[in-house]
Amino acid sequence: MVNQFLAPLAGGLLIGLSAVMLLLLVGRIAGISGIAWSAVSGAADNAWRWLFLLGLIGGGALYHWISGTPAPAPNPAGWPLAAAAGLVVGIGVRLGNGCTSGHGVCGLGFHSLRSLAATATFMTTGIITVFILRHVLGGGS
The predicted-structure confidence for 66-90, as pLDDT tens digits, reads as follows 888 776 666 777 888 888 988 888 8
Average pLDDT over residues 94-106: 83
Identify the pLDDT of residue 1. Answer: 52
Distance between CA atoms of residues 83 and 96, nearest Å: 20
pTM for the predicted model, two decimal places: 0.72
Q: Mapping DSSP to helix (H, G, I), strand (E, B) and coil, where does residue 96 land? A: coil
Distance between CA atoms of residues 134 and 141, nearest Å: 7
Identify the pLDDT of residue 140. Answer: 60
- The residues, any chain, with a CB within 8 Å of residue 112's CB and separated by 6 or more, are 103
Choose among 55, 81, 63: nearest CA to 1: 63
Distance between CA atoms of residues 72 and 85, nearest Å: 18
Residue 102 or residue 132, greater confidence = 132
Domain boundaries, the chain: 1-72, 76-141
Question: How many degrees, rounded to 5, is the angle at CA 24 between CA 18 and CA 28?
Answer: 80
Does the structure show a pLDDT above 70 at 98?
yes
Identify the pLDDT of residue 91. Answer: 84
DSSP-assigned letter for residue 2 = -
pLDDT digits 0-9 by tens, 4-19: 778 788 888 988 898 8
In this structure, are residues 52 and 22 in contact, taking their beta carbons and an 8 Å threshold?
A: yes
